């Protein structure tokens, strides 16, 4: 049996003997290690394939703002990712402005193998307890999604909430295997995040309920544009996950939920949206019930589609 891959740690630092040692320690402990030498490339990596934790080397006085930490922690999609700041004892003695450097923990150089792995493991454990992030996508899970929806409802803040579901994902997973299925979920995460990041608004949100079910929130006026982009991007990319013969045929043969061999079309995406600026919603249960009803109708349509519920009643 293949051993499952461990959490990914992104080390953001200039190359040095100590950084190489940190990477070797983490890999020996079972982590997957990625590296970036500046804030821009680190953010590029995060948006493409979010790690479970960042290990960041701070350059310059610690009373100054760390640009990567500031950018990461202000992000309304990946701001929950834990970050460990690497610094020297001399740096710590000069004082750290933790408001300008919102790290989740810190590590003093030089460090032992145990100190490094313990700090990383504790940060990841705290993140799972506090945020309940989905381990595959890195997006917030059920509990934080519900909290965010409840917060907006209680504040009387109009928003549109979209429930995204991949059609025919299970037959694809059964035929091609979980590894390729996970790649489809990662691709869906990337295009969802990219779609809402193009919106000029700090009121966007994305979450991963589990499996092939995702959630996003936008201002009501921008949800149609967001749905159109998600649908277009998904339809453009998803055929590349199929073998050439299946791609040309436009369908695959796989088993249904009863174990019978059936023919299934290529995967599409269905998005059920509830617009709270039109629909009276007083509780997250109202939101879920509305979305489930709209989702039922959306999935009966052929191809990728979205339906926005703006019914007044």
The residue that leads in pLDDT, 288 or 135, is: 288
CA torsion sign, 117 to 123 to 125 to 128? Answer: negative
Q: With cut-offs at 50, 70 and 90, classify the pLDDT of residue 3.
A: very low
pLDDT tens for 226-270 read 999 999 999 999 999 999 999 999 999 887 777 778 899 999 999
d(CA 87, CA 66): 12
What are the helix (H) ranges across the chain? 17-28, 39-48, 67-73, 89-94, 113-131, 142-154, 169-176, 178-197, 223-237, 244-249, 284-298
d(CA 33, CA 25): 10
pLDDT of the residue at 207: 93
Q: Is the pLDDT of residue 2 over 60?
A: no
d(CA 168, CA 250): 12
d(CA 301, CA 132): 33
Q: Is the pLDDT of residue 81 over 80?
A: yes
Neighbouring CB atoms inside 10 A of 91's CB total: 18
pLDDT of the residue at 138: 84
pLDDT tens for 15-60 read 788 889 999 999 999 999 999 988 899 998 888 888 989 999 876 6
pLDDT of the residue at 37: 87
pLDDT of the residue at 1: 35
pLDDT of the residue at 277: 92
Q: Is the pLDDT of residue 212 over 90?
A: yes
Q: Give me the phi and psi of 84, to 5 degrees please.
A: -105, 125
pTM given for the model: 0.70
* Cβ-contact 179, 191 below 8 angstroms: no
Neighbouring CB atoms inside 10 A of 33's CB total: 18
Q: Which domains does the chain have, with CATH numbers?
A: 8-131 (3.40.50.2300), 142-309 (3.30.70.270)
């Amino acid at each position: 049996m293949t051993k499952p891959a461990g959490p990914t740690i992104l080390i953001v630092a200039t190359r040095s003997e100590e950084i190489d040692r940190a990477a070797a320690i983490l890999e020996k402990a079972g982590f997957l290690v990625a590296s970036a030498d500046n804030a821009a490339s680190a953010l590029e990596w995060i948006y493409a394939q979010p790690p479970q934790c960042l290990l960041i080397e701070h350059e310059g006085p610690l009373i100054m703002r760390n640009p990567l930490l500031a950018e990461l922690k202000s992000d309304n999609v990946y701001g929950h990712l834990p970050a460990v700041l690497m610094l020297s004892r001399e740096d710590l003695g000069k004082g750290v402005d933790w408001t300008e450097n919102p790290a989740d923990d810190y590590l003093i150089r030089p460090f032992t193998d145990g100190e490094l792995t313990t700090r990383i493991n504790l940060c990841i454990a705290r993140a799972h307890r506090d945020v309940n992030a989905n381990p595959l996508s890195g997006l917030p899970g059920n509990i934080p999604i519900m909290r965010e929806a409840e917060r907006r409802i209680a504040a009387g803040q109009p928003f549109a909430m979209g429930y995204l579901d991949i059609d025919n994902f299970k037959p694809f997973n059964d035929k091609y295997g979980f590894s390729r299925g996970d790649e489809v979920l990662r691709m869906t995460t990337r295009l969802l995040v990219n779609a809402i990041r193009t919106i000029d608004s700090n009121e966007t949100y994305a979450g991963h309920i589990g499996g092939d079910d995702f959630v996003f929130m936008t201002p009501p006026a921008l949800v149609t544009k967001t749905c159109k982009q998600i649908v277009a991007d998904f339809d453009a990319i998803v055929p590349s996950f199929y073998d050439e013969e299946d791609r040309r045929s436009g369908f695959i043969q796989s088993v249904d939920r009863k174990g019978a061999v059936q023919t299934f079309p290529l995967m599409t995406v269905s998005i059920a949206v509830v617009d709270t600026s039109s629909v009276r919603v007083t509780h997250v249960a109202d939101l879920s019930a509305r979305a489930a009803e709209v989702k039922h109708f959306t999935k009966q349509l052929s191809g990728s589609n979205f339906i926005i519920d703006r019914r007044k009643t």
